[in-house]
Amino acid sequence: MKQIFTNFYGFDDVKISKNDLYVEDGIIVEKFPKEEADEIVDCDNFALLPSFTDLHVHFRDPGFTYKEDLETGSHAALKGGFTNVLLMGNTMPTVSSPEVYEDIMKRGRDLDLISIDQVYTITKNFDGKTLDHLDTLPDSVKFISDDGHGVNDDAVMYMAMVKAKELGINMTLHEEVGKVSAIDYEVAEDAMTLRDCYYAYKLDMPVHFSHVSTKGAMTAIKYFKDLGAKITCEVTPHHIYFSDKTRDEMRVNPPIRREEDRLFLLQMIKEGYVDAISTDHAPHSAQEKKQNAPGFIGIETAFSTCYEVLVKSGLISLNDLVRIMSTRPSEILRIKKGKLEPGYLADFTLVDLDKSFVYKEEDILSKSKNSLMIGKTLTGSVERVYRKGVLKYENNR
């Protein structure tokens, strides 16, 4: 199948171009004669971006599918312009066995909507101590994580990093000293981040830090990055949009922080120390939110939220936003995606950068409706999404 994508403004992490894109069997290729094309795709003068990759998502499947499942989560991801996600392992049962892992991966492939990667737990069933389940780790696992929990035992975490390095896999870490978080959640995040930055540096181990939210944690990451540690990090749209000036009763872990923290995260994005925007998309039922369950959905509005806070504000360019929403997270997940160059996947998100819309509950594709953005006017509307050259989402709004 040969396609030519035409009539667009193309943005990747480094360039802006109006040149047509040539695609063969889902891969961007060098130019071929127009008469060889099986399809010419008119992109309606929209901005064409490499589709986004989310390194931190909860689809609640298996075990909590009343909140979300692989299919509804995939449709929500496409609505937000994402074609790759990394799913966390706090399902029921947890992703601590090859059987659970392979089931999720197979069902994701069978849906053929987006590309799904699934983490494996660091400790067996999040018990905080057992690592022997990693001895039967499936070959396709790229990340391990105990998301929702910090690994509080220092020796267990050290041994887990050693094991991960031996296996050639990465870790994505929820940083929270459990016994401290109820007293001071800021110190809880800062202290564990500092420990794990040091471990990663001394062990020469690649480690990814999830949903960084404090100035202290980000300062530690910056320091060890400058030393040459193989560490990467993500921030969420809600931690750069909201702060203690606006947070009211927003229950999420890590919490919405002070304005000082938010502004520091923005500065670190500007300086290039933040590698990824990840949503921590966390569906809950209405009853669970009434009972203060932590977390919010966000994958459908991530681009528009970040476009407003980061690009329209003048802080960074659209190319830079593509870098932290597509290019770098794709590199971290080891996917050949995120650039508009031959050899890369033809995963494209077409965006009307001038179109504003009110995000309404009835428009949400996620099974859960617990969004912080309902009722807000956002700019930058995802209009179409292609995965490997195949149209997977079209906005009918």
Judged by DSSP in three states, 118 sits in strand
Q: Residue holding tokens 């996620």?
A: 366
DSSP-assigned beta bridge partners for residue 39: 3
Report pLDDT for 247.
67
The proportion of the chain whose per-residue pLDDT surpasses 70, expressed as a percent, equals 99
Mean pLDDT of 324-340: 98
Report pLDDT for 245.
76
Query: How high is the mean pLDDT of the chain?
Result: 97
Task: Kindly report the length of the chain.
Answer: 397
Q: Is the pLDDT score of 5 beyond 90? A: yes
Q: Is the pLDDT score of 32 beyond 80? A: yes
Report pLDDT for 248.
61
> Are 298 and 280 contacting, i.e. CB atoms less than 8 angstroms apart?
yes
Report pLDDT for 253.
94
21-24/2-6 β-pairing: antiparallel
pLDDT in tens, 73-83: 999 999 999 99
> Are 92 and 102 contacting, i.e. CB atoms less than 8 angstroms apart?
no
Judged by DSSP in three states, 389 sits in coil
The proportion of the chain whose per-residue pLDDT surpasses 90, expressed as a percent, equals 97
pLDDT in tens, 211-233: 999 999 999 999 999 999 999 99
Q: Is 54 a catalytic residue?
A: no
Give 98's Cβ-side CA count (13 Å radius): 8
Report pLDDT for 98.
98
Catalytic residue among 69, 280, 320, 352: 280
Separation of alpha carbons 314 and 339, rounded Å = 23
